[in-house]
Amino acid sequence: MPEVPPEQTGIMDQGSSGNNTAASGVLPSEATTTQPKDAQNGAVKRNRGQTSKDRREFARKKFKERNLEMKQGDKEAQRQPNPERTEARLPKRKVALLMGFCGTGYQGMQTNPNARTIESELFKALVSAGAVSADNATDQSKVQLQRAARTDKGVHAAGQVVALKMIVEDPDIVAKINANLPDQIRVWGYVRVIRSFNAKTACGSRIYEYLLPTYVLAEPNKANVEIARTVPFHERRLPETSAEEMAQLRSYRISPEMLQYVRDAFAKYKGTHDYRNFTVTRGCTEVNSKRHIYHFDVSDPMIIDGGEWVSLKVKGMSFMMHQIRKMVGLIIMMAKERVPLKLIDEMFGSVRVNVPKAPGLGLLLEQPVFDGYNQRAANLKQGASNPVHFDDYKDAIQKFKQKFIYDAIRETEAADAVFNEWVKSNEIFPEDYSYINAEGVIPESAIIVPGQVRRIPPIFLKPGDDADEAAEAAAAAGEGGLPAEAAGASSDDEVDTKDD
């Protein structure tokens, strides 16, 4: 028999080995991964020898690798043509959009589901004008849209700042945005800002104006006081006010003594105080309820269409929900009875009382102020950021205020007597305001006890409501036992409970 060459022997041995493996029922892949027992034990020992630090380092390494792969995948996807894209991708720039609006007919500034709001109108106009791409048209967060301050239902703003990442390639973009907005909402312009600009946190202070008809400061109506004194609580109703009676009210003129009293009263708010009694109960503590007011000024009286008005202007670092309207409401109640001003100091104390909110109709956001940001921006390189202010649009803003805000406030008051209805409700249901007294002290009867059931005026109950059940629900909600409507409120207020 001829001798087989070594090469052939090797080939035959390999084939024989493969056949033996198959015949034994072990797959080739299993055969190749089979390790000696001591080798397996060695691997186990090495794993057991790893420290927590080793495992953390391994996890970090894998995390970085995955992130890198994802980023590379995203870049590759961006380079690939998108058959569904119908427009060219244009660069976005971080801007501060300067705007103003009349809030009549809107449920506030901020977007809310199933509500007509200023923000939703603005965002639709930005999309239609091409300032926001179609890819981002369904989600405001994609362009990082944020406001400097919230506003309540029906509250106006002469100056408001909205920050977002916007397409600004078109030199006529502001005109195109305005063309897609109703006349009562206007965009004044925009300012390029740094990428980290936050309209809320960069805002150092806010200025609000409140237009107040002076007839609300007149002495209490004797007929209303008599109803409160003689008619059982749940049988009281607000009487109709005739046209002649309204004309008489609007002929009221504030005296120099009353004007000085009101100015002194609002001046008491200046400084840093605890405003727990001027906001909602829930979540409010001594720690988060202190606010700083720079000034609260009262103008000389103005005669408009036969009625007398004063303008109240307040500048503060930030405001809580309901704060400004409650500050105004308290002074109105005090002025009507000439309550000693020391009551305001007691209101800054720890006891909780119910303070009525003045109507939202007279309130408007004058402007947010960005002095601190503007000083920092001045030190940046040329073109990195411009100062955020409304100085270039003063004339346009004043014309807009007169036509769409001041006239709207006056016309609404003339048609609906909003302030008179508010005064009547407080005079006929005075039970929660026993601190309005000649001594200027807070009696025990006015102090809110947590969980205490308080009566709700029947004029605020809906058909079919049970008064006792409604009162219990209101107490459980932490609003001092009265629903928002009972204090002249709406669903939200000028700002939210966070700093705005």
215-241 residues labelled b (16+ CB within 10 A) or e (exposed):
bbbbebbeebeebbeeeeeeebebeeb
29 vs 26: CA distance, rounded Å: 8
- How sure is the predictor about 350, in pLDDT bands with cuts at 50, 70 and 90? confident
The residues near 450 (Cβ < 8 Å, ≥ 6 apart) are 478
Helix (H, G, I), strand (E, B) or coil at 410: helix
Query: What pLDDT, on a 0 to 100 scale, did the predictor assign at position 26?
Result: 43
Segment holding 95, helix H or strand E = strand 93-101
More confident call, 73 vs 462: 73
- How sure is the predictor about 82, in pLDDT bands with cuts at 50, 70 and 90? low
Position 273 pLDDT exceeds 70: yes
292, two tokens: 């700083």
What digits encode the pLDDT tens for the residues 440-459?
999 999 998 877 767 777 76
Query: What pLDDT, on a 0 to 100 scale, did the predictor assign at position 465?
Result: 53
Pair 354, 432: CB distance under 8 Å: yes
Looking at residues 45-58, what average pLDDT do you find?
A: 69
Query: What pLDDT, on a 0 to 100 scale, did the predictor assign at position 31?
Result: 43
* Residues in the chain, overall count: 500
* Residue (of 35, 41, 133, 31) closest to 90 by Cα position: 133
- Find where tokens 């504030």 sit: 254
- How sure is the predictor about 395, in pLDDT bands with cuts at 50, 70 and 90? very high
Q: Give catalytic status of residue 432 as yes or no.
A: no
- How sure is the predictor about 74, in pLDDT bands with cuts at 50, 70 and 90? low
Looking at residues 184-203, what average pLDDT do you find?
A: 95
Among candidate residues 38, 74, 139, 152, the one labeled active-site is 152
DSSP codes joined into one string, 152-205 = -TT-EEEEEEEEEEE---STTHHHHHHHTS-TTEEEEEEEE--TT--TTTS--E
- How sure is the predictor about 152, in pLDDT bands with cuts at 50, 70 and 90? confident
Instruction: Name the residue type at position 401.
Output: K
